[in-house]
Amino acid sequence: MARRWRPSHLVFVAGVAYLILISLKFRRVLDLATADLAAVDSAFSSPSSTDHLPPLLPGNSSSSNATLFQVQPFWHRYDRVSLPDIAARNRSALDRMADDAWSLGLTAWEDAAAFAGDPWELAAVDAASTDKCPAAVSVRARGRVVFLPCGLAAGSAVTVIGTPRSAHKEYVPQLARMRQGDGTVHVSQFMVELQGLRAVDGEDPPRILHLNPRLRGDWSQRPIIEHNTCYRMQWGSAQRCDGLQPEDNDDKVDGFTKCEKWIRDDIVDTKESKTTSWLKRFIGRAKKPAMTWPFPFVEDRLFVLTIQAGVEGFHIYVGGRHVTSFPYRPGFTLEDATGLYVKGDVDVHSVYATALPMSHPSFSLQQVLEMSDKWRSQPLPRDPVYLFIGILSASNHFAERMAVRKTWMQTSEIKSSKVVARFFVALNSRKEVNVMLKKEAEYFGDIVILPFIDRYELVVLKTIAICEYGVRHSCRHYLLLNFC
């Protein structure tokens, strides 16, 4: 009598097939690991790749007896464990973006390394070519672009006074193909963007903040406010505010929730019963007043929109009430936000920008970078370290890195040989920034330069570099990631 197949037999067969597949993949992993170990000494270079103690080269600096660290970009590989032909056919947009960033970064590093002049003079020339930095800007005309000469700083605020236009019909081919009505929808939306007008040359400026109120909604069929960033025509992941507080309400920006609640016709707040209300009053429990607000933008009705730059992100107020908050993204800095652009279904009456920086940090580096021996880092120790701290930093965050050097990097734990902290910085599209970054790395010795153009979507490459750098330099126990 033949034995009947049971479900457990199928599970057993699937398990055997899985083990066979894993064994084949594991062999591929071993091949890649062997190739990486064999190529470590020749294919990779870093500020201390040839030795745990980086060599010091004499050079000119603000200190007469100062010596400079030798700086070379840190190379690391990012590869999927898959067959080459499959990898070539399934290249994602992120892979192509990374390839472009690496190729542009190589050119940028070659230009910075070939510069033989005085970096301070290059920064001074760039500073002389800029306009004066006003503390406030006021534009009452109906212009769409407002120029902010020296960008923004923490505490700066930009206020836009305008009126959304009435909705108009737009033809959507997708709806026509789906045979949903005549393919037209009513649309009323506008965009307010903080752009980096000086960040790039010969291409569209990056959107450091893209704020898009959609009064008639989108595919969700409900009013919504969308936030995003864009660099080299590549948009990041959108943050949408639909009038519902986020599920993870602990994830806040400077103590503000990312999305405030407003009145929605699809949600009815349940009122407590009279018995529950009487009981709460009897036990003396304070009752918070329930504040409900409608969607902050209405067609043909004046609005006052304020974008305030905080410590951790942008805060958006409408009519004096906080509506949304959007955290800063690595690769985008306040000082690069040199333009405000408004477009869409809106009539702009006036724009005000207040509490603007009086000097551009990139243009006053001699005031920011304090070339003193007491802020310099020690070379990597020969023995394994207990904790390695990798700090993700943008290329033009000179002031932020200097603040870190003067604060917690001066603690006795960091100064000991058991803990090492390094900044991981990618390159900038501006030559003068890369030249000053190289000088900063040579003097302080605490910067690991990654030879690709920095952008938000490629933060994962920085994370991989931190892990690989820490393991390669014998971190025995813990790796810690930080942002600057």
Is the pLDDT confidence value at 46 over 50? no
Distance CA 419, CA 408 (A): 12
Q: Where is the domain boundary, 302, 332, 359?
A: 359
Q: With a cut of 50, say whether residue 37 has pLDDT above it.
A: no
What's residue 99's pLDDT?
76
Residues 390 and 398: their CA atoms lie apart, in Å, by 17
Clarify whether residues 118 and 150 are in a common domain. Answer: no
Q: What is the pLDDT of residues 342-393, one digit of tens each?
A: 999 999 999 999 999 887 655 566 667 777 888 888 877 777 778 888 888 8
Q: Which residue bears the tokens 């752009």?
A: 195
pTM tops 0.85, yes or no: no
SS3 state of residue 350 = strand
Q: Where does a domain end: 314, 338, 359?
A: 359
Question: What pLDDT score was predicted for residue 47?
Answer: 35
Report the C-alpha gap between 464 and 76 in whole angstroms.
8
Residues whose CB is less than 8 angstroms from the CB of residue 55 and which lie 6 or more positions away in sequence, other chains included: 70
> What is the structure's pLDDT at 141?
60
Instruction: Write out the residue range of the structural domain in which residue 260 sits.
Output: 137-264+289-359
Q: Is 22 among the domain residues? A: no
Is there a domain that residue 4 lies in?
Answer: no
**CATH code of the domain containing 255:** 2.60.120.200
Residue 282: predicted pLDDT? 60
pLDDT at position 373, please? 80
Domain final residue, candidates 334, 359, 384: 359
β-pairing, 190-195 vs 339-344, is antiparallel
Which of 1 and 275 is assigned the larger pLDDT?
A: 275
The string of pLDDT tens digits covering residues 253-270 is: 999 999 999 988 766 555
The percentage of the chain sitting over the pLDDT mark of 70, rounded to a whole number, equals 68
**pLDDT, average across residues 455-474:** 79
In a domain, 11, yes or no: no
Q: What is the pLDDT of residue 238?
A: 93
Looking at the chain, the whole-number percentage of residues with pLDDT higher than 90 is: 23
The enclosing H or E element of 276 equals helix 274-282
In a domain, 441, yes or no: yes
User: 434-448 pLDDT, tens per residue?
Assistant: 888 888 888 888 888
The closest of 353, 359, 324, 354 to 340, measured between CA atoms, is 353
State whether 161 and 294 are in the same domain.
yes
Q: Which residues pair with 306 in a beta bridge?
A: 159, 317
Looking at the fold, whether 47 and 107 belong to one and the same domain comes out as yes
Decide if 12 is inside a domain: no
Lowest model confidence (mean pLDDT) among 42-46, 76-80, 243-247: 42-46
How many independent structural domains does the chain possess? 2
- What is residue 172's DSSP assignment? -
For residues 401 and 450, state if they share a domain. yes
pLDDT surpassing 80 at residue 23:
no
Residue 318: its pLDDT value, please? 97
Let me know whether 355 and 367 are in one domain. Answer: no
Q: For residue 475, tell me if it sits in a domain.
A: yes
| Domain co-membership, 166 together with 311 | yes
* Among candidate residues 345, 166, 328, 326, the one with its CA nearest the CA of residue 241: 326
Same domain? 82 vs 97: yes
Q: CA 380 to CA 472: how far, in whole Å?
A: 12
Q: What is the pLDDT of residue 260?
A: 92
Q: How far apart are CA 53 and CA 47, in angstroms?
A: 9
The mean pLDDT value of the chain amounts to: 75
Whether residues 178 and 63 fall in one domain = no
Give the pLDDT confidence score for residue 142 in this predicted structure. 58
- 305 with 437, same domain? no
Q: 394 with 462, same domain?
A: yes
- Is 110 inside a domain boundary? yes
Output 297 or 378, whichever has higher pLDDT.
Answer: 297
The residue count of the chain comes to 484
pLDDT confidence of residue 188: 92
What is the Cα 392 distance to its own chain's centre? Answer: 10
Among left, alpha and beta (phi > 0; psi -120 to 50; other), residue 74 is beta
In a domain, 278, yes or no: no
Same domain, 220 and 324: yes
Helix (H) / strand (E) element for 170: namely strand 168-171
Tens-digit pLDDT profile for residues 211-231? 999 998 876 678 999 999 987
Q: Are residues 444 and 382 in the same domain?
A: yes
